[in-house]
Structure 1
Amino acid sequence: MQVFFRTPNGRLVARQLLDTLTLDDFIKTAGDVLGTTIRDEILSWRYTVGSKPLDVKNAKEFDKCKQHIIKECNIFVLGRLLGGSTFPDTLQTIVEQQLEDELDKVATHSSECSICLDTDTDCLKACCVWMCSEDFKSWILDKQFKTSCILCSKVIMLKDIFKSPEYIATVQALEDEKQLLQNMDCQRCLNCNVLMHNETMSSCQTCVKCHRLFCFFCNRNWNAATMLNRQNSCGKECVYETMLSFQLVRFHYKRDMKIPSRRTCPRCFNFGAYDGKCKYHSCTVCKFTFCFLCLEEENECKRIHKSQYDHACVRTPVSQTYSMFPRLVSL
């Protein structure tokens, strides 16, 4: 089966793997991709399929997780840091730059564009509608390639539009990388863009490629005078520490009651502020509605605490901890 290796600098390398893949087969192929036959060098990198880690140091554990290696999947190669997050534009840029060339490969037909209504242009078909290339580009980029038909709402698969397996794999890799970087222990260097995994969760780290000294979590250059080398955070201005902290502000319905000024959504980890109304907050990303005081889903808060939108359900706001954030490798 054909798979795609994504090297730390974002390069795409296609390789064939046997259906009866063993750990030694995988290591040999990975070495070929990395340009080395030295086993220790190959094992110095971490490998993931999308957001699923592969254990390449133990054959028995590798056999348990190799089920995730399927036809045309993306295998990411990450640098190990022994000693969050801003999304990089590497794959995003590649996808956008190659989109024009890929659209040239798609069959078009002289038709009226359903978006701009231009009748004198070549259009491509997206399920039930015809679009000119410019409107199609704007539409699919705005939807981040997660598209459904404008008319019938049917989900449109990438293979239904694009002809190149390599491009489809690149688009899928972009989504896989977004999922990967939602993990607290995964990050990209802002200087050289190398993808890395933090195995100790210490904040002060040295990039495996450009050797920049930086905070792994907020990705700022390391400043020994203002930053602390500790787990999960370099200090009060660090990303995840900010997402967990809050101040108590006056509650709209009861002036003698206090409520957290901001919270992180327990479901998708989006950061949101108290809007000066009731204690229930609807996340702008995943639409999960939860209580700013006890962090329970709205209906659960009402059921467990017999509480309402304008009453306190707990005496002290429940604290959120670093353990709530997803990680590639579980604690």
Structure 2
Amino acid sequence: MAFPNRDVVLSRKPNLTLIPNPDRTYRLLEPQRKRGNAQFPLASCGHSVNPADVTESVKSLLDQKSLEFRCPVCDKEWSWRETRKLTQLPEPELCALEERVNLIAQDRPELYKKCPACSLLLQRPGDDDASVALCVACPGCSRSRGKPCLLCWACLSPWQGGEEAGEGAGCTNKACGLISALLFCSVVTEPDSRVLGCPLIRACPKCHQLTMHTGGCKYVCCQGCRHRFCFICLERSENCKRTGPGLYWALQCSKPRAERQRLDC
């Protein structure tokens, strides 16, 4: 409709149309796309990604118990260290995600482990034959040292030789089999068990003999040296009972549950 008696005023600013997007289904992935006055972070693969979309993707993967973080454009895999930076979350929220990642990695040691030097999350090499000795390269340590940093997948000790299996290649740790059993064993899942959630196999803190919890209270006695310790916190039974309230056979231990053991043999 025309208004002949009204002056026409030219606007210097373009009209803006706001499109509500509560589900954030529209991904802004083009390089150098700006968010206000700030640019989206650039991933190692060269693509600019929306931190909000990365955060939603991470939470969805963690709900599925998966730690395979990938670029939504080229499908290149990201390390957890890079992914957490791309989320640009405040430290409290990052700590919450980090805790979920650690729980998944701890419950699935056959797939995920952390580098003992830089704590970078490592994924098992793609060899389906479990009898073949495997090595994995840590990207973080390799980058900082300027040369490939190869680790034995079973015990995370330094790997001798190249990545290809051959003469002279293998793990440098003589206790590799022992450590592998500690890292790969299942966890106790029986609801009535006194050590629910602990690894099924522990090493005696005194003589390193393997001990399996088969029932009863949380205290076990090593058959090799008769050392008695708590299967949950790995403290000497007398020390554990001294710090815990109530009866010594109580289900809960007052100390944090000890992580899977990596023996320095």
- Band of TM-score, shorter chain: 0.3 to 0.5
Whose RCO is larger (CA < 8 A, sep 6+)? Answer: 1
TM-score, normalised via structure 1 length: 0.27
Q: Normalised by the size of structure 2, how large is the TM-score?
A: 0.33
